[in-house]
Structure 1
Amino acid sequence: MSEANAVYRLGLDVGGTNLRLGVFSGLTLVEETRFRANYSAICKEFAPALAWQTILQVTADAIRPLLDKYAGIQAIGIGFPGFIDPHTGVLAQSPNLPGLRDVNLGHDLGKLLGLPVRVENDANAAAYGEFCQLSQPVGGLLYVGLGTGVGAGLVVNGSVWAGQHGYALEAGHIIVVPDGRLCGCGNQGCVEQYASATGISRAYADLTGQTMTALDIARAAESGDRHAQAVYADAGSKLAQMLASVLKVIDIENVVIGGGVVAAWPLLQAAFEQRLEHDLIPVLRGKIKVHVSSTGDIAGMLGAALLAA
C-alpha cells in the first residue's frame, strides 16, 4: 500500500500536564508527538462550561496537524483519566479534573474534527495496548499504570472489561492506609497517594520538608539518600498490597506494571515482591507472572488507537 493510500489510526494518551499523540499503522508507531496541555489547571482556572470548551479546543489543536499530515487517519482513540460510561462514552467524573462532570469528549470532539472518536479510560486503553503487544496472552491481562495517579485495566477474552457502569478496576482508589492521605476521589488512604509519582513526591516532602519530583527522588535514592530509598520501598509495598487484594478477586495470571514510575522499578522491586508474596493467598503464590512494561510507555496511545477501530 502506498503512503498516500495507507490507513492509520491516531491514539492519544492524556497525562497530567501533556498529551501524547501516536499515529499507528497496525501495531507500528509511525510518529509520536507531544502537546502541552494541563487539563487540571484549566479546570481549576475556569468555570466548568468554559473549562470544557477550552479542553475541547486544546485537544483539537493538538490533533489537527497530524490529520493534515496523515490523510489516511480514519479513527481517533483517546485514553482519558476518569470514570467513563462504556455504553454512552459520557465522562461522569475525573478525580484529578475538578468540576468536570457528565461530558462526552468523543461526541463533542468528533463534531469538531469530522471523524469518529472513541474515548476509553486511560488505564483500560493501556491494558489493551499491553495485551496486544504481548501477543494476546491466554486468559487476558491485568495492567497497573503508575503515573500522576495509579490506574488499572483488565482485558478478558480479548476485550476490555469495564464493569456494568464503566468504573471497574479503579484500583488506584483501593484504600491501603485507613484514614491516610486525602485523595482526589474524596476518600483517604488510597494507594494512588503512595505509589504514584505524585504520592512519592508527597511522601518525600513529608519526611524531609523538600519538594522534589519522583524522578529526582529516584536519582537521590540511587545516590544513597535513605529517605528517598524508604519512600520508594514503601511505594513498592503499598502497590503489592493493593495488587494482592485485586488478584484475590479476579485470579488472573499475567500482570503488567507500566507508567512513568516504572523507570525506577529497581527501587520498588524488592519491597514489592516481598509484600506480594506475603499478601497473596497461598494457592496463588507462584502462579502470578508480573511483567514490567517493555513497550516504551506507548501502550496507552496504542490501545486507544486500536480500540478506535
Structure 2
Amino acid sequence: MVTGDAAYIKKINRSLIIRKIVKEGMISRADLSKATDLTRATISAQAADLLEEGLIVETQLEHYSVGRKPIMLSLNGQAGYALGIDLDYGQISFTLSDLLGSPVSSIVIKLNTTDYSEILHLLIEQIKKFETNYTDSRYGIVGVVIAIHGLVTKDEVVHYVPRLAWNNINLKDDLQKEIGISVYLENNANLCSFAERVFVHHETDNLLCATLYSGIGIGLMMNSEFFRGHDGYAGEAGHMIVVPGGRSCKCGNKGCWEKYASESSIFEYLSENRQIENVTYEHIQKWLEEGDEEVHGLMEQSIYYLSIGLNNMINIYNPDVLVLDGELLRMYPDSLNKIKANLNSSISHYRELLISSIGKKSCVLGACALAIKHFLDVPTLNLPYEV
C-alpha cells in the first residue's frame, strides 16, 4: 500500500460529501450515504469533522410527517467570505459574498488612471478594508479572485491588458506580498462562464459565454473546467477577423469582431457622432423608445455581425449552451430571436441560446464562486442564485 493512500481517499470522500451538501442545500446523513455511495460510518465520521470545523451546520426538520425528524446537514454560509474583483478600464467593482455565493457587500470605485502602481495600491487598500470589516466569521475572507480583461497565463501572470496597456505584470505576487489571503487571477469572460455554470446551468458540461461589454470575450467551460489553450489565452474571439481590411483594432489587426458587435463599439460610435462625451445605457434606451432610426440601425448591424461570430463559435466548439451577456441585447426588442434567425446553418448544433439572467454581475459573482470552489476544494460547484 502506498503511503498516504488513506489520507488521499479521505480527502476525495470529503470533497464528494461537501459538493453534495452544497448542491442539495439540505440533506440528511442517510440520503447523503445513498447519494454518494459511501457507508454511513464514513458519512458520520466526515460530518463530525466538518461540524467541528464549522463548515457545516445541523438543522432538525420541523415539519416531517413520518417517523423521527431527520437531522439535516447544510453548508455554513457564514463560516467565511469570498471577495470577487472586476478590474475593468475606468472602474473596479468589488463584491463580497458568503460561502453560498450570496452578496454581502458591493462597491464600485471609478478609475482615472491606468498606472499599475496606483491601481495596485488601491487594490491593496480596499482588500485590507474588507479584511478588517469582516472578521466576524471563523475563516474570514477565504480567497480573492480578480477578473482581468485581457490575457492571463496559466501561471496567473497578466500577459496583456489592451485598454490598460499592461504587459507581463505579476499582480498576484505583488498583492500576496502585502495581504495574507490567497489571490487568484482569471480572465473576465471565463469568470462570467463560471458564474453561469455555477448559479444557473448546473448540469451543463459544455457552456460558452460571450461577454459583449468592453469588447468581446469568450468564456468556455468544457466538462466543468475552463478551456484555456496552450498558454492560457483561449477565448480571445473578439479579435477574430469578420471584416477583412475593416476598422483598426488596438490589437494591431483590422476588422476584428469586437469592433462591429461589442457594446463599446456602439457607445464609441454614438459618442463621436452625437458629440456626447459619455453615452449611457439610459441614452440608448431613450433613443430606442423614441424610434431613433440610426440607433435601431446600429443595433441591427451589431446583431448581424454578432451572429457571424457566434456561427463560427458554434461550428468550432459545438457547445451545449450559449449565453450572451450584454445589456443592450436585453434592451433591444426581440434581439434573441433575431440572432437565432441568422443561425440557420444545417451543420451548426447547440441545445440552447439565451441572454444571461445574471447580467453585469456575472463577472464578480463568478469570481466569488471561484474563490469558494478553491476554499472548499471541490471539483464542481452548484450554488443557488437569487435574482
TM interval, shorter chain, is 0.7 to 0.9
* 2:161 counterpart of 1:94: yes
Per-residue CA shift, 1:152-188, capped at 9, x if unaligned? 1000111111111111011111112222221121111
Which of 79, 84, 90 is matched with 1:6 structurally?
A: 79
How far off its partner does 1:209 sit?
4.5
Which of 246, 258, 261 is matched with 2:325 structurally?
A: 258
Q: Is the 8 A contact 1:146 1:195 kept in 2?
A: yes
Q: Is the 8 A contact 1:106 1:119 kept in 2?
A: yes
Per-residue CA shift, 1:65-122, capped at 9, x if unaligned? 2211222111101111111001x11111111112x11112122112222211000001
Distance 2:156 2:117 in 1: 17
Report which stretch shifted further, 108-117 or 297-306.
Answer: 297-306
Report which stretch shifted further, 225-234 or 184-193.
Answer: 184-193
Distance 1:205 1:267 in 2: 25
Q: TM-score, normalised by structure 2?
A: 0.70
Q: Is the 8 A contact 2:77 2:99 kept in 1?
A: no
2:144 match? 76
Decide whether aligned partners of structure 1 residues 61 and 105 sit closer, same or farther in structure 2, where only a CA change above 3 A counts. Answer: same
2:231 match? 165
2:260 match? 194
Q: TM-score, normalised by structure 1?
A: 0.87
* 2:279 counterpart of 1:213: yes
1:47 match? none
Distance 1:222 1:20 in 2: 30
Per-residue CA shift, 1:129-151, capped at 9, x if unaligned? 11111243332210011112211
Distance 1:108 1:191 in 2: 34
1:301 match? 364
For structure 2, list consecutive stretches of 5 or more residues without a partner in the other structure: 1-53, 58-75, 375-387
How far off its partner does 1:271 sit?
3.8
* 2:308 counterpart of 1:235: no
Q: Is the 8 A contact 1:37 1:58 kept in 2?
A: no
1:185 match? 251
2:29 match? none
Q: Is the 8 A contact 2:83 2:141 kept in 1?
A: yes
Distance 1:238 1:263 in 2: 17
1:48 match? none
* 2:91 counterpart of 1:18: yes
Q: For the pair shown, which has the larger CA radius of gyration, 1 or 2?
A: 2
Distance 1:304 1:296 in 2: 14
How far off its partner does 1:222 sit?
2.1
Distance 1:121 1:237 in 2: 26
Decide whether aligned partners of structure 1 residues 15 and 67 sit closer, same or farther in structure 2, where only a CA change above 3 A counts. Answer: same
Distance 2:204 2:334 in 1: 30
* 2:335 counterpart of 1:272: no
SS of residue in 1 equivalent to 2:169: coil
SS of residue in 2 equivalent to 1:113: coil
Size of the aligned set, in residue pairs, is: 293
1:266 aligned partner, one-letter code = P
How far off its partner does 1:35 sit?
2.9
Decide whether aligned partners of structure 1 residues 199 and 27 sit closer, same or farther in structure 2, where only a CA change above 3 A counts. Answer: farther
SS of residue in 2 equivalent to 1:20: strand
Decide whether aligned partners of structure 1 residues 247 and 296 sit closer, same or farther in structure 2, where only a CA change above 3 A counts. Answer: closer
Which of 52, 56, 62 is matched with 2:120 structurally?
A: 56
SS of residue in 2 equivalent to 1:141: strand
How far off its partner does 1:270 sit?
4.8
Which of 109, 113, 121 is matched with 1:42 structurally?
A: 113
RMSD of the alignment, in Å? 2.3
Distance 1:20 1:262 in 2: 22
2:193 aligned partner, one-letter code = A
SS of residue in 2 equivalent to 1:35: strand
Per-residue CA shift, 1:42-72, capped at 9, x if unaligned? 23xxxxxxx2211111112232222112221
1:126 match? 192
How far off its partner does 1:301 sit?
1.1
For structure 1, list consecutive stretches of 5 or more residues without a partner in the other structure: 44-50
Distance 2:77 2:335 in 1: 46
Q: Is the 8 A contact 1:141 1:156 kept in 2?
A: yes
Flag the structure with more relative contact order, 1 or 2, with Cα contacts below 8 A and sequence separation at least 6.
Answer: 1
Distance 2:88 2:240 in 1: 21
Distance 1:187 1:264 in 2: 30
Q: Structure 1 runs of 4+ off > 4 angstroms?
A: 1-5
- Using the aligned pairs only, state the percent identity: 28
